[in-house]
Structure 1
């Protein structure tokens, strides 16, 4: 039989990149890269998301790691930020009406620093000038005049009281403890001893008169106290007047500067009123002996604690910012996102105040862009819920985490919330996006833009040259050696291998960056000024060598026949399959043996892996498809009566996937038809119910894994692999395999159906798709065997007797 038509030419095993397509000798002559390569869909999505300035149009950048999502998000955000206005500064100040609720003040960008500085200068000047104002001669003279007027009024009232007292036989004196009543006898004041010596009638008379005069005394006392209160008010007014005359020039520049800012204007008025209400704090001596000798006994007036109320907590300072902010928060904990209130220890007690309020990433990004990693954000569920609340309410409130988790709050401060206007960009995988979209009801409302980053791009001439520009730009940015055109061509070929497609390139630029770094290192070790093709090949090979120890150990087991793989004989019901082991940083192919035994019965196909609970769901599905295929081909006109056991030999772990289903079917057909299969050809590919071969993944690694086994066991010239026709475009085989194909040592067969595959493996006609199959075909041999399985023991015995009789009759006498 002729099988050359199924063999692939060496040209189809890899898509080489010709260095001559580049019009440069080294990348130093290549143009710089502008924009992102191969992500037109994602770029349009991100650009549209930036243009929509309505709530909820935040952006989720979805795709595999290393596709440039974060870098592009930063680049686009920075580009937009440069053209955007600089957002306001934000301050927290003391709330004189409700100290437990600090007020938030919005200031033009850059004004925050000035406001802090001028307020600090204001208080310092007030503490210096107000005591002077209250010691000026004018103040003392006006104060003395008020006191003198009071004393005159009090003297007149006392004279009036004494006049009344004389009528009743009493005299009054004003002492520090109040007004004292002194009885008089015969025109003379008497003391307590003299009073006790008076007879009882006289004392009763004095007591009666004392009771009568108390009404007049109380009236006079009320008038004196009223005068005292009036004096105090006049003195306070005088102090405030004098203080205000000194304070007004200090306040005037601030009031004029912030005349149009109502919130700041209101705050300054409150500051002014509070200073006048607390003049004693400003005029208290700062070096009293007690305070100087015993600082721990200082009162509020002797310490600076009181004056914290006039401090400005500059929460967000955009004085050095040109355009909008771009914040990348790598650790989005609750406090890092929303800010926090810090605590200080004072004499064993933790306290806080508005000056201890610290900003979070949302504060710093307000008016601009915040970039977060989905993994980092979702590791902190409280952070994600807090972010949702901020985006829903469009205001940022600093709270204690304990309040979010339903426990007692530690702090009594409740700062005024700050309005938020920003664009949030979350970078993550598609799986996380789907989970959030399906199970988090607010997510679809808050992140309406999805930017989907592809892992591959077309290997067009434009993209190939853009890849060269990417290499040049990165070499220039990181001070790497320039790449030659041949080295760039090798990078292009490796990119196609990573993309697992001859006509595509990988967009996982992180892998390209690693290759550039390592190739540059090998050029340095080789003491070369440019990175050549050999350096790129060395970098690729060395990266494999650092990770392929498990592959080598498995190959050793195969070489020592501990893992039994036959590459020379023909065996019934046995096929070499191909599998891929993925270690994360490295994946490799390895052959494994699949065997099938068929016998009489009605159990169908017995998947030994499934019985041993070592078979995954997809593998189970593939085995069930085999039953369907066999039923369609052999049991249309008779009941299904077949038992078959399938086994992946020497497998001790979980098996999943359907890429071995065609291999398993070949083993079954071989066993049914009693047709030996060539062991020098390994097989991969899944099969559907109609017997069509379907593509599988990891085709390059599978072929390379079997090639290594054949190489170690020694080539006979008949070794090869059978792959699905659709996988031809996925081939990116090593140069060693391609050379072996050119020399006729190794072959790659490409097929579309089970019929083609079984003919290559057995060198017998399949008959599976023929209307009139020959008796020697796989189909007829298998069907005849099934009919034998269906015979009863009596029918089998009768057949044997008939055969004996025929032999006897045929024997010559």
Structure 2
């Protein structure tokens, strides 16, 4: 049978099947401006139901993992749905930290009704400012001055009276009391004059001894009087302090009574104000010390120095508001996102300041994290970013398990910091955490982290495509119209929508599906709007969309163009004409980020007699991935179970991707590899005008592969660069026909008879096309026709087996055997 006859025995894929474009006339509108915008997504009912369940569940461990590829609208859907649900929930309580006067290193957490924390903060600032003025006025008042003066005079008179009595007693004994720069001295008096030292030495010895005895005795009494002076002064100070406490207590109590009245019925505030009153009464000197200092301010922009609460001394009475609702903020539960989920930004942090070479902190330096802000509502996090931040994931799990927020710094967790820090009260936590990530990350977490399944019991899995139908196309058009309107773009004409739908079908890699990667389609739409603006159009037309698609391909195709150039210049060897034994054009896809393109690769096979070993050169040099290696092993299984079943499998073969210097994975080349092996065995050449793709099973059935459009287009470009002959084409699995959405230039070439796409179901069908021979079917006698492809391959294998047996007999030493 001739080459042409067997090639034509399998009909090429119909032109209409290669690209099933959307007809603008079927859409029923002129532009998207006529359509009612469709808010939200289509085809994501399963994921939306999961989000709704997570939003409404009360159980703490029903947190949500949203999975799916980027660009499917997963983040926007989560934000939109949770925002609506959060608005229906009650406002969460406020939280604030205040000083623990008994244990300053353990600040107290106050739970307050919504909006009360800020009021309490403002009230305590006013209390300190008012008391600073009131207490200063109190100590300057006439009543206080008179009372304190009376106490001072009382103790002054006691001291003076004691000294006066002592002076009179000394004078009666002719001893004078003299005050000198060195202190109080006693000296003798004679005839009304002070006895000087030189005159004292001229006095009779008996008189000298008498004077010395008097002075010694009186000196002892004087010392006792002077020793009693500090005691009297301490007593005076205690009286003054008692006076201060009495008068200050009235002022503090009066002012704090106003504060209590302002927060009547709030037990946590009442208890806190009671401790404040006790501490203020016992530390009145702070107010005096601060108010007696001259007003100063550091730096060129001084704070309000007349406000006492800004003084660090009074920080102990301030309120550190962690969570509260600002004026004018939307009511309901919070919906928070944290784009940089570090440990500190997630659970909060305790800041430190340097003072005198040391790090100090206080409860006012506690800063809230995303968990604090989201408490009572929802927190949305990017899962990959969370897992890449040190200690963030363990800290989040700990908070979810304990249902409380504990602030611990990285240094404390790793025992790297020895600075004294704080131990704030943990804050009870009631929120729903939503993680957004891809399916691979979800699988890794569910497999490797035993806590994950317990804490994240719900998953929202976003679909990547939706079935293509008139109804779904109508909904899709409304979504595109809503996207254009929300982005401030021009309306899209029916032709523009149809062209975008064609691109959605291509992204879905299935002619019966529409891709839900709305992010990628939105990028095309925005670029098309730019071209429509340049052309001064009122609407986005199909030409604008087409140009956006082409320009995006051009920007990303530098490497593809260089590879095409190398094939054209025969730097990379690819044949598109003639026939070769053991050689076939395999098709592969190269992905660079979000850009993929197809390229042909020469696959060669060599066979000889051996022990049944099939050598995959890619695997031997560790360039072949596990899926590719699996495909090669399947080839070995197919050969050994198809040919020469009654003799030992006596083949040694090698397979290689020629001029491949990177990794090779996937089994989409296994059909091409099998064709090359059978060609080498049978000695029949394979037509090089075909590119081949498809995987194969051990029964010889050709199975579907991915990237079929890019693979066809890659081989088409190679043939086009060398000149289309009309006999060239691509052999694909029949199962991939439903996935075809080829570029228009490829479709046009097929329509003009310059290129073909042939779909096959089995290896035998592919052999018929590539060799132009009958592949052969076993007859009643169990053998293949001698001139068939399979017959020639089996005869070669039988010959290998016979040679192997003969070699074994010839190599047996003489004298052995039975």
Name the TM-score, length of structure 1 as normaliser. Answer: 0.86
Asked if the contact 1:368/1:421 (under 8 Å) is kept, the reply is yes
Q: 1:75 to 1:198 in 2, by over 3 A?
A: farther
Instruction: Give the corresponding residue for 2:303.
Output: none
**2:605 paired residue among 596, 604, 613:** 596
Range that drifts further, 559-568 or 42-51: 559-568
Instruction: Give the corresponding residue for 2:509.
Output: 500
Range that drifts further, 704-713 or 304-313: 304-313
In 2, Cα distance between the equivalents of 1:736 and 1:616?
Answer: 34
Instruction: Give the corresponding residue for 1:554.
Output: 563
**C-alpha displacement of 1:758:** 1.0
Instruction: Give the corresponding residue for 2:337.
Output: 328
Instruction: Give the corresponding residue for 2:288.
Output: 283
Instruction: Give the corresponding residue for 1:691.
Output: 700
Q: Deviations over 1:164-189 (max 9, x none)?
A: x99x999999x999xx9999999x99
Q: Secondary structure at the match of 1:134?
A: helix
> What does 1:471-620 correspond to in 2, within 5 Å?
471-620=480-629
Asked if the contact 1:183/1:206 (under 8 Å) is kept, the reply is no
Instruction: Give the corresponding residue for 2:792.
Output: 781
Range that drifts further, 362-371 or 510-519: 362-371
Instruction: State whether structure 2 residue 84 is matched by structure 1 residue 84.
Output: no
Asked if the contact 1:341/1:358 (under 8 Å) is kept, the reply is yes
Instruction: State whether structure 2 residue 321 is matched by structure 1 residue 314.
Output: yes
Q: Secondary structure at the match of 1:528?
A: coil
Instruction: State whether structure 2 residue 117 is matched by structure 1 residue 112.
Output: yes
Q: 1:258 to 1:633 in 2, by over 3 A?
A: same
In 1, Cα distance between the equivalents of 2:738 and 2:554?
Answer: 27
Asked if the contact 1:646/1:664 (under 8 Å) is kept, the reply is yes
Instruction: Give the corresponding residue for 1:705.
Output: 714
Instruction: Give the corresponding residue for 2:301.
Output: none
Instruction: Give the corresponding residue for 1:52.
Output: 57
Range that drifts further, 513-522 or 640-649: 640-649
Instruction: State whether structure 2 residue 760 is matched by structure 1 residue 751.
Output: yes
In 2, Cα distance between the equivalents of 1:365 and 1:384?
Answer: 17
Q: Deviations over 1:578-617 (max 9, x none)?
A: 1111112311111222222333333533333334443322
RMSD: 3.9
**C-alpha displacement of 1:204:** 11
Q: Deviations over 1:769-799 (max 9, x none)?
A: 5546433222222222223333449989xxx
**C-alpha displacement of 1:318:** 1.4
Q: Secondary structure at the match of 2:314?
A: helix
Asked if the contact 1:291/1:302 (under 8 Å) is kept, the reply is no
Asked if the contact 1:66/1:508 (under 8 Å) is kept, the reply is yes
Instruction: Give the corresponding residue for 2:141.
Output: 136
Q: 1:288 to 1:247 in 2, by over 3 A?
A: closer
In 1, Cα distance between the equivalents of 2:477 and 2:630?
Answer: 45
In 1, Cα distance between the equivalents of 2:293 and 2:221?
Answer: 47
Q: Deviations over 1:527-577 (max 9, x none)?
A: 111000111111111111111122222222222233232223233322222
**C-alpha displacement of 1:404:** 1.0
**C-alpha displacement of 1:16:** 1.8
Q: Secondary structure at the match of 2:450?
A: coil
Q: Secondary structure at the match of 1:424?
A: strand
Q: Deviations over 1:312-360 (max 9, x none)?
A: 3233331233222222111112222222233334465543333332222
In 1, Cα distance between the equivalents of 2:420 and 2:243?
Answer: 41
Asked if the contact 1:25/1:484 (under 8 Å) is kept, the reply is yes
**C-alpha displacement of 1:236:** 3.0
Name the TM-score, length of structure 2 as normaliser. Answer: 0.86
Gaps of 5+ in 2: 299-307, 808-818
Q: Secondary structure at the match of 1:635?
A: coil
Q: 1:226 to 1:685 in 2, by over 3 A?
A: same
Asked if the contact 1:134/1:243 (under 8 Å) is kept, the reply is no
Instruction: Give the corresponding residue for 1:802.
Output: none
Instruction: State whether structure 2 residue 251 is matched by structure 1 residue 246.
Output: yes
Q: Secondary structure at the match of 2:87?
A: helix
Q: 1:141 to 1:286 in 2, by over 3 A?
A: closer
**C-alpha displacement of 1:647:** 2.8
Instruction: Give the corresponding residue for 1:387.
Output: 396
Instruction: Give the corresponding residue for 2:260.
Output: 255
Q: Secondary structure at the match of 2:286?
A: helix
Q: 1:411 to 1:79 in 2, by over 3 A?
A: farther
Q: 1:69 to 1:732 in 2, by over 3 A?
A: same
Instruction: State whether structure 2 residue 636 is matched by structure 1 residue 627.
Output: yes
Q: 1:723 to 1:771 in 2, by over 3 A?
A: farther
Q: Secondary structure at the match of 1:442?
A: helix
Q: Secondary structure at the match of 1:259?
A: coil
In 2, Cα distance between the equivalents of 1:770 and 1:495?
Answer: 49
Asked if the contact 1:315/1:359 (under 8 Å) is kept, the reply is yes
> What does 1:386-535 correspond to in 2, within 5 Å?
386-535=395-544
> What does 1:720-739 correspond to in 2, within 5 Å?
720-739=729-748
Instruction: Give the corresponding residue for 1:371.
Output: 380
Asked if the contact 1:374/1:426 (under 8 Å) is kept, the reply is yes
Asked if the contact 1:362/1:370 (under 8 Å) is kept, the reply is yes
Range that drifts further, 415-424 or 142-151: 142-151
Asked if the contact 2:582/2:677 (under 8 Å) is kept, the reply is yes
**C-alpha displacement of 1:715:** 2.8
**C-alpha displacement of 1:692:** 1.1
Asked if the contact 2:176/2:189 (under 8 Å) is kept, the reply is no
Instruction: Give the corresponding residue for 2:811.
Output: none
Instruction: Give the corresponding residue for 2:666.
Output: 657
Q: Deviations over 1:735-770 (max 9, x none)?
A: 222222233322222221111111122222212455
**C-alpha displacement of 1:703:** 0.8
**1:272 paired residue among 270, 277, 284:** 277
**C-alpha displacement of 1:402:** 0.9
